[in-house]
Amino acid sequence: MCHRIPRHWQAWLQDKGSLTQRLIHASDGYFEVCVISNQWGVPSQSEARALMLKPRQKAIIREVELHCHGQAWVCARSIIPHSTLTGRLRQFKNIGTKPLGGLLFKHHNMVRGVLEVTSLKQVHNQKQHWARRSVFYLDGKGILVTEVFMPPMASVLPQGD
């Protein structure tokens, strides 16, 4: 899908660095990971395709809110296939409130796939959100991370077009 990304969102949506580090910096350290769920489940068809998984293949589905100054700035959903959780990557099975990004970007053999960016609208009020996702490859094994940027974050961005 092709969207015209407003200038004030471009740096966040297209940045290939650690979102965790950017949020920590932008919030002057008032950053917290709130785990909503971390359990085995079946990824959506789109998520399974992105990771080249067989239909109904189970994975750990981790949903978190990344809070800055006590507000959810980003909602994130990570898909960690069973096949990824071998050897030293078993540590990703249950990382609790540790930021996933911190672990991904510390991995010496991490390669990030293409960033996919989209615009989402809430049904009840048509409010627009921006989201992105990409597959992180660790030792050739994939973890899909989707990040939705929430309205409180927009209030700290410089407004432009």
Express each pLDDT in 30-75 by its tens digit.
999 999 999 999 999 999 999 999 988 999 999 999 999 999 999 9
At a CB cut-off of 8 Å and minimum separation 6, what does 58 contact? 40, 41, 42, 82
Q: Please, which pLDDT band fits residue 1 given cuts at 50, 70 and 90?
A: very low
8 Å CB contact between 99 and 50: no
Task: Establish if 160 belongs to a structural domain.
Answer: no
Amino acid sitting at position 28: D
For residue 154, pLDDT over 80 is answered with no
CATH code at 87? 3.40.1410.10
Model confidence, pTM: 0.91
Does the residue 116 lie in any domain?
yes
Number of H helices, E strands in the chain: 5, 7
Range of the domain at 26: 7-151
Per-residue pLDDT at 142 exceeds 60: yes
AA letter at 67: H
Whether 18 is in a domain gets the answer yes
Residue 2 counted as domain residue: no
Altogether, the residues listed in the chain come to a count of: 161
**Is 158 contained in some domain?**
no
Q: How far apart are CA 103 and CA 96, in angstroms?
A: 12
Domain count, the chain: 1
The beta strands (E) that lie in 16-140 are given as 31-41, 59-68, 71-81, 110-112, 116-121, 128-138
**Average pLDDT score, the chain:** 89
- Burial degree of 100 (CB within 10 A; 0-12, 13-18, 19+): buried
Range of lowest pLDDT (13-17, 71-75, 135-139): 13-17
| 1 within domain boundaries | no
Q: Percent of the chain beyond pLDDT 70?
A: 91
